[in-house]
Amino acid sequence: MAVDTPSSTRNLVIYEVYVRNHGPHGSFADVTADLERIGRMGVDIVWLMPIHPIGQLNKKGSLGCPYSISDYRAVNPEYGTLYDFRRLAEKVHALGMRLMIDVVYNHTAHDSVLVGQHPDWFHQDANGAPVTTVPDWGDVIDLRHPNPALSQYLIETLQQWALLGVDGFRCDVASLLPEDFWTAARQAVAAVKPGVIWLAEAVHLSFIADRRRRGLRALSDSEVYRAFDLTYDYDIWPVFMAAVTGKMHFSRYLEMLLLQDAIYPANYVKMRCVENHDQLRIQTLAPTPAQALAWTAFEAFNCGAFLLYAGQESGAQHTPSLFDIDKIDWQDFSLQPWLTRLCALKKDDLLTHGQFTLLDDRASLQATWQGTAAGLLGIFNVQNRAGELAVPLADGSYTDELSSRLVTVSGGRVTAPQGAFILRYATPQHFTPFHSELF
């Protein structure tokens, strides 16, 4: 059965930070100094990509990948000391936010401290050498699950970090580990720190199918929800990408959202985003800047937690390298006020307690959150149409929650937004939901 995830989880705003490339020194102190700005955006959880020492044997790039970890129980000296990490955690908490760290328990660096201590904990080739089961991941070697001793070590490590101030774990390729491990880990962490939040990087469907063909483990998202509060959106990510880039009409993506509603537990939560450290920036992917904003606004409005990747508030077009120093170009934070409004909307009572409905309109992506006495209508011009769009609202003037400007509806039509409008209406409306022949 699914874990008892509270409905408020769908209103979380998560902010992803790569310490190496976030500030001028690539340190915990840089992130600590930026926390007040991050908090003012309406962020609930600060997620730090892996904070541990990086392996140097068979590394990629000049400095190595943070997901190639040599010691789960230490911090990367490039970032600072454990004291610096604890100061960061304390400030996160003082600002009313929570701290999440990356957990990478499918694989380690080739020179992990565990290789010499416990070679039997790893997948091995015919000659007894540790190997990876993913050929493209040449800088790592895979831990072999299940193994009671390995599980105990990893779970005790999670407990240690929870006691050091960590409030959540983003679990890398969580689908590749046994469900029983994650269930036991969640229970053990709750015993020392209740309320820790668990985010799974559930993998692409093609990855699951390939693993299973080769006789390797790969959990479905439904299995992952038995131990996790929320999961990545990678099950439908290829369709989302096709819609964003104009290779497919957005209605196909809406069909996938309806599919999620039908196949996952009733209280399931997806983490919605338009970019992260493994994906291209939305400003690069979308055909126009206005379409990039339309898709960003929709994913914030969509049902599910919302992820911001550091640099998004500056409209960054470059995805920083994982393997080298590649600083974010912060420029003038031009999108920060707009994103702050989106983050505030995630906490609106309608998004917390209302009913989310995708609407039947093929010219623009429209959706509503509706309560008993009012609602919010989102109009997302993801196709960058000019002129007017039909909207299911009575004629009159409405305030756009994203710009505070008045928007006039006349004859059931509105001038198409450059990006998106989110309009608040005072009385319940009857809408025609989006319909798919699949359901």
User: CA-CA distance, 26 to 80, in Å (whole number)?
Assistant: 9
* pLDDT score, position 7: 85
Residue found under tokens 């105990």: 152
Contact 377, 425 (CB under 8 A): yes
* pLDDT score, position 429: 81
- Reported as a single tens digit per residue, the pLDDT across 252-284 is 999 999 999 999 999 999 999 999 999 999 999
* pLDDT score, position 152: 98
* N-terminal to C-terminal alpha carbon distance within the chain: 24
- Reported as a single tens digit per residue, the pLDDT across 43-64 is 999 999 999 999 999 999 999 9
User: CA-CA distance, 124 to 128, in Å (whole number)?
Assistant: 5
Residue stretches of the chain with pLDDT short of 70: 1, 439
List domains and CATH numbers for the chain: 7-347 (3.20.20.80), 356-425 (2.60.40.1180)
* pLDDT score, position 427: 80
Contact 69, 50 (CB under 8 A): yes
Contact 113, 120 (CB under 8 A): no
To the nearest 5 percent, what fractions of the chain are helix, strand and coil?
35, 20, 45
* pLDDT score, position 1: 52
The overall pTM is greater than 0.95: yes
Q: Which long-range contacts (CB under 8 A, 24 or more apart) does 156-162 make?
A: 157/72, 157/73, 158/103, 158/185, 158/188, 158/189, 159/188, 159/189, 159/191, 159/192, 159/193, 160/73, 161/101, 162/189, 162/192, 162/193, 162/196
Q: Which of 5, 43, 10 is nearest to 309 (CA)?
A: 43
* pLDDT score, position 437: 80
